[in-house]
């Protein structure tokens, strides 16, 4: 069943992405001021939306673990955070490429960029911490605390473009009262969010299976040691 869901999601996400790419690259006109490079927004924004909401989702699963002490929540939190970190890296990289063309520099130390980089470092530390603790319950507890503390920073980063004047553009999406884009230009962002979200669900499912195998191997090893 799991295999079928994964294949189904992959086919759907692949088809959606291909159709959306066609719209982005062949149908949409260049932006008036930025030219062709503005199209990076169709990857930068979805990647960061998924990264940021993934860190939040990881926090919810971490709370779920602390409340129930069920290790499946911990595995979910770890998988979601890992996938989110990949998306956050894509967001940082695409943002940097865009900045090089538009601002003339790869990086600017404004509040948005800095806080997002801090988040990336914190959740990178989260994954390193998981490798440093051997005992599964202890690992889950420590990781949950770091995930919850780190999510405070993710929220600061999310709000930073509203709280401070940043070099990073202010909100452009209509859900954040940005309204800076024409409807036809904004829609492909959301289609990409959907397609990439399907891919992240696939990645999380694969990662969850690895986690359950790892737990099984760990149990067998303990049993072998006990005898």
Partner 1 sequence: MAKDLHSELRTKEAWNASIAFSVVILLLFAFAFDPSSDQIREFGSGLLWMTYAFAGALVLNRSFARELQNDCLDALIASPVSSPALFVGKALANFAMLFAVELFSLPVFGLFYNTWPPRFAPLFLVMVLGTWALTIIGTLFSALTVNLRLRELMLPTLVYPMMIPVLIAAMTVTTNILAGTAMGFGVRFLVAFDIIFTTLAVVFVDTVLVG
Q: Does residue number 121 form part of the binding site for partner 1 (CB under 8 A)?
A: yes
Closer by beta carbon to partner 1, 53 or else 115: 115
Distances (CA, A) of 162 to 27, 64, 227: 32, 30, 60
Closer by beta carbon to partner 1, 124 or else 184: 124
Residues 155-214 that bind partner 1 (CB under 8 A): 156, 163-164
Among 32, 132, 223, 226, interactor with partner 1 by CB under 8 A = 132
Helix pair 41-68, 136-163: axis angle to 10 deg: 140
Mapped onto helix, strand or coil, the DSSP state of residue 31 is strand
Among 21, 23, 72, 141, interactor with partner 1 by CB under 8 A = 141
Mapped onto helix, strand or coil, the DSSP state of residue 35 is strand
Closer by beta carbon to partner 1, 135 or else 218: 135
Bridge partner list, 41: none
Buried b (16+ CB within 10 A) or exposed e, 132-159: eeeeeeebbbbbbebbbebbebbbbbbe
Q: Which stretch binds partner 1 (CB under 8 A): 43-51, 53-61, 151-159, 175-183?
A: 151-159
Those residues whose C-beta lies under 8 Å from the C-beta of residue 21, and which sit 6 or more positions away, are none
Q: Which stretch binds partner 1 (CB under 8 A): 9-17, 51-59, 76-84, 144-152?
A: 144-152
In 3D, which of 120, 99, 138 has the Cα closest to residue 52? Answer: 120
Among 128, 182, 217, 220, interactor with partner 1 by CB under 8 A = 128
CB atoms inside a 10 Å sphere around CB 104: 8
Residues 56-95 that bind partner 1 (CB under 8 A): 66
The binding site for partner 1 (CB under 8 A) comprises 66, 114-115, 118, 121-122, 125, 128-129, 132-133, 137-138, 141-142, 144-146, 148-150, 152-153, 156, 163-164
């Amino acid at each position: 069943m799991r295999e079928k869901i994964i294949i189904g999601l992959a086919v759907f996400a692949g088809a959606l992405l291909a159709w959306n790419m066609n719209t982005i690259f062949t149908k949409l006109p260049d932006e008036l001021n930025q030219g062709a490079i503005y199209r990076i927004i169709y990857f930068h924004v979805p990647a960061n939306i998924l990264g940021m909401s993934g860190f939040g989702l990881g926090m919810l699963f971490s709370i779920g673990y602390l409340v129930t002490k069920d290790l499946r929540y911990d595995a979910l939190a770890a998988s979601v955070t890992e996938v989110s970190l990949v998306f956050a890296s894509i967001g940082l990289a695409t943002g940097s490429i865009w900045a090089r063309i538009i601002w003339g520099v790869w990086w600017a130390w404004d509040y948005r960029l800095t806080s997002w980089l801090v988040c990336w470092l914190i959740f990178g530390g989260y994954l390193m911490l998981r490798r440093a603790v051997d005992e599964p319950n202890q690992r889950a507890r420590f990781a949950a605390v770091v995930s919850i503390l780190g999510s405070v920073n993710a929220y600061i980063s999310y709000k930073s473009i509203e709280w401070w004047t940043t070099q990073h553009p202010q909100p452009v999406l209509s859900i954040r009262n940005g309204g800076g884009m024409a409807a036809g230009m904004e829609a492909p962002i959301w289609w990409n969010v959907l397609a990439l979200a399907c891919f992240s669900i696939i990645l999380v499912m694969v990662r969850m299976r690895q986690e359950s195998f790892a737990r099984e191997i760990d149990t067998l090893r303990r049993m072998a040691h006990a005898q």
